[in-house]
Amino acid sequence: MDNILISDKIINLSYKFKIFNTEFNSGSFSIIPYSKGYLINLRCINYKKTNSKFLINTFNNYNYITINKFIKLDLYFNKIDENKLCIPKLLPYIIKKKNKNNKKNKKILGIEDMRMFVYNNKIKIIGSSELNNKLYIITGEYDYLNNKLLNMNYIKPTFNYQSIEKNWVYFIHNNNLQIIYKWYPLQICKLNLNKNKFIKDLNLIKEIPMCLFFKNARGSTCGVYYNNEIWFICHFNNNGSYSHFFVVFNIDMIPIRYSDVFNFNKNKVQFCIGLYIMDDGTFLIPYSINDVESKLGIYNISTINNMKWNNI
């Protein structure tokens, strides 16, 4: 982990709170511009992770519980409103009937790694959640003023099914909302708009060959438009050790270049699901450390350009 991406500034946005007599710590989060400032959503979880092990509070066999906390920031990243929680409806019941005897059944409650994305002036969300003991991607919208998740749907690919469905990301192409499902080969998809189905379909619309470097790449951030290009951050997970890299497309979603891998610091467990690029080339990159620290790294475009880049 020698290739550390050095930031101009790091803002600590970590959060810890107790609810239903249970401690939650913030980890990964995404960021979008919102109302003359920014909106972030912190994934707050009931377990702690170190570089060597998990420390889990198990409730009624639910090992992994996520509460999403939405926080409004001003342009200087000061907290304006930090009182909005999206709590899974079953959580009070599960905590009340807590049972700490079985830690083998790794059930999941809540929406994990929720990414926010602005499309047609609406806050779209995409994350993963469990249904009938299977992990699905879940999509919908977030209403900040009323603190509600709307139009939520579980999504199932029509062309493939992996044992773990995670890390799909949004982007906009020709004013249409699309999804990257996989990076090797690159699989570009769209949602089935059939409103009569509880589990909606994901349809493959295009497949692009990618170089071998992308073989084990996973999605991290949604696509961000900057300087007539679309930017993403992806990651590799090598036995629990994470590394990251940028990948850049032109506006026709033809891959152009990718950076060498980098890390945010020397921790093995670090995760990034957010990216925003300001008009002046300032990169805002949220990331988590050990799933219990939430950091916002601020980087100048010159730092990004000075990385080693590879043409595709």
Residues 148 and 154: their CA atoms lie apart, in Å, by 17
pTM confidence score: 0.93
Q: Does the CA dihedral 201-222-116-64 come out positive or negative?
A: positive
Taking the C-alpha atoms of residue 249 and residue 228, their distance in angstroms, rounded to an integer, is: 9
Q: Tens digits of per-residue pLDDT, 211-226? A: 999 999 999 999 999 9
Whole-angstrom Cα distance, residue 288 to residue 14? 9
At 10 the three-state DSSP class reads strand
Q: How does pLDDT run across 110-133, given as a tens digit for each residue?
A: 999 999 999 999 999 999 999 888
The alpha helices in the chain, defined as continuous H runs, are: 91-96, 301-305
Structural contact between residues 57 and 25, judged by C-beta atoms closer than 8 angstroms: no
Q: How far apart are CA 197 and CA 77, in angstroms?
A: 40
Q: What pLDDT is recorded for position 91?
A: 73
At 281, list the tokens: 């080339």
pLDDT on residue 58: 54
Q: Over 60: is that where the pLDDT of 136 sits?
A: yes
Q: How far apart (Å, rounded) are the C-alpha atoms in residues 284 and 304? A: 12
Of the candidates 111, 216, 200, 113, the one whose C-alpha atom is nearest the C-alpha of residue 157 is 200
pLDDT of residue 90: 72
Task: Please state, in angstroms and rounded to a whole number, the distance separating the CA atoms of residues 207 and 159.
Answer: 12
* Domains in the chain with CATH codes: 9-311 (2.115.10.20)
**Can you read off the two tokens belonging to residue 180?**
């990257």
Cα angle for residues 178, 183, 186 (degrees, 5° grid): 60
Q: Which two tokens stand for residue 71?
A: 């926080």
